[in-house]
Structure formats: structure tokens, C-alpha cells
A = this chain, B = another copy of it.
């Protein structure tokens, strides 16, 4: 996202006024050879200054001074299956787009077409996580904010992603297995308990809780709106200044 700083506008205001006043004085002097008759020049001024202003704007359009880019960032949402990562990620992405950020959503749901042959074994998960982290960092380095939502159960995975990205915001959706299981209309937890799904995080594969995430959301105590507010609020405070 590109914004203009107040400093830029202030410097433009000074440069414009000096230019405009000199123009008025010059026109009056050329027409009447009398500086006191400046008021008569109002008509000339109106037309002339519009041209001068326009040129002035076009010149400034080439000058980068005071044009700043808000730093892009990667919001990495981690948590147990069914803890609400996708829903909250979608909400956060929508809100950030409204603020003016360029946002790309990365979610298990739609990322598999990029990486079609990935399974769910521990090794496959780590490789998959690395690819997503690389993708996120490519996007971030090109000025795009990323909202990534992945179980990413191992500390190693999240550290890897953190290491690649410049502004990494780890969001931990804290929730216990029981609460997640209650929300599970597709019966994934049940199938995992019966052994039909292997390496299921929380049941047959460990979830290592984040040690020091930037944001912690206890989804048992906060609804989607509150969680979104907390995340978007943090991002605005840290990156919009």
C-alpha cells in the first residue's frame, strides 16, 4: 500500500506557494509595470496558476520524496484443526483489504492446487509448510500482505516461516481438543480417534503450543468478531503508525 506522508504535503504546499506568488508578481509587472495593481491580475492569475499548478503536480508526480510504502507483513494463524483458523483468517483478510492493504490468503483449502502431490505424513507436512513459507515470503517481499492459516503444529515449522519473512505475526488460536471436537460437524476428530485419519493433530500427532506468539486468541472466550478486532488492531498499531 502506498501513502503520502504529511511531510510530503507540507513541502509541496511551500513549493507551490512560492511558485504561485512569483507568477502573480511577474504577470502584474509585465502588464502594468506596477506591483500595486496585483488585484487586477486576479483573472490572469486564475488561468495562469491552473497551468502552473498542473505542471507543478506533474513534476511532483516524478518525485519520490515523502512517498512511503507501508511495510507488508505475514499473519500466520496456527491452531488445532477446527479451532477457527480459516474463518478468522478470511475475516482478517477482508478487513485488511478494506483498510487498503493488498492481501493474499493462503489456506490449506486452496493451496493444494499449487502443491498437488502433498500428503499428511510428518515429512510431507514439513515440506508443505516450507513451500507455503517460501511462497509467503515471496509475496511479502513484493509488497503483498499474507494471511496464512495452517495447523502448523510444530514449533520448527513456525520458526522456519518466521525466519524467511521480514514481518512475521504469529497468531495462536488457543483452544482445547474437546472444544474443537464439539464444532466438528464433519466428524474428523471421530474418524481420527477410530484411526481412519492418521497423524491427526491433537489426536494422533502432537500440537506444540507456540511459546511467544505475537497474538494469542483464546477462541473459547472470544467470538470471531472480537478475535478479528484484536488481530487487525495489532496490525494497525504496529504497521500503520
Binds B, one of A4-12, A183-191, A193-201, A216-224: A4-12
A104 within 8 A of B: yes
Interface set, chain A 43-62, CB cutoff 8 A to B? 45-46, 49-51, 53-54, 57-58, 61
Let me know if A241 is at the binding interface, CB within 8 A. Answer: no
Tell me whether A114 is interfacial, beta carbon within 8 Å.
yes
Q: A38-B42, A102-B142 are in contact. Are A53 and B17 (CB under 8 A)?
A: yes
Bound form: Cα–Cα A20–B17 in Å: 10
Within 8 A of B (CB), among A1-27: 2-4, 6, 9-10, 12-14, 16-17, 20-21, 24
Q: Tell me the bound Cα distance from A201 to B4 in angstroms.
A: 50
Interface residues contributed by chain A, number (CB under 8 Å): 47
A83 to chain B, nearest CB (A): 26
Q: What residues on B are CB-neighbors of A114 within 8 Å? A: 131, 134-135, 138
Residue A213 at the chain B interface, CB threshold 8 Å:
no
Q: Do A57 and B3 have beta carbons less than 8 Å apart?
A: no
- Beta-carbon contacts of A100-115 to B below 8 Å, as 1s and 0s? 0010100000000111
Whether A33 sits at the interface, judged by CB under 8 Å, is no
- Closest chain B residue, CB of each to CB of A134: B114
Which residues on A are within 8 Å of B, measured CB to CB? 2-4, 6, 9-10, 12-14, 16-17, 20-21, 24, 35-39, 42, 45-46, 49-51, 53-54, 57-58, 61, 102, 104, 113-117, 127, 130-131, 134-135, 138-139, 142-144
CB-CB < 8 A to A57: which residues of B?
A: 4, 9, 12-13
A24 to B41, CA, bound (A): 13
Query: A115 touching B131 by the CB < 8 A rule?
Result: yes
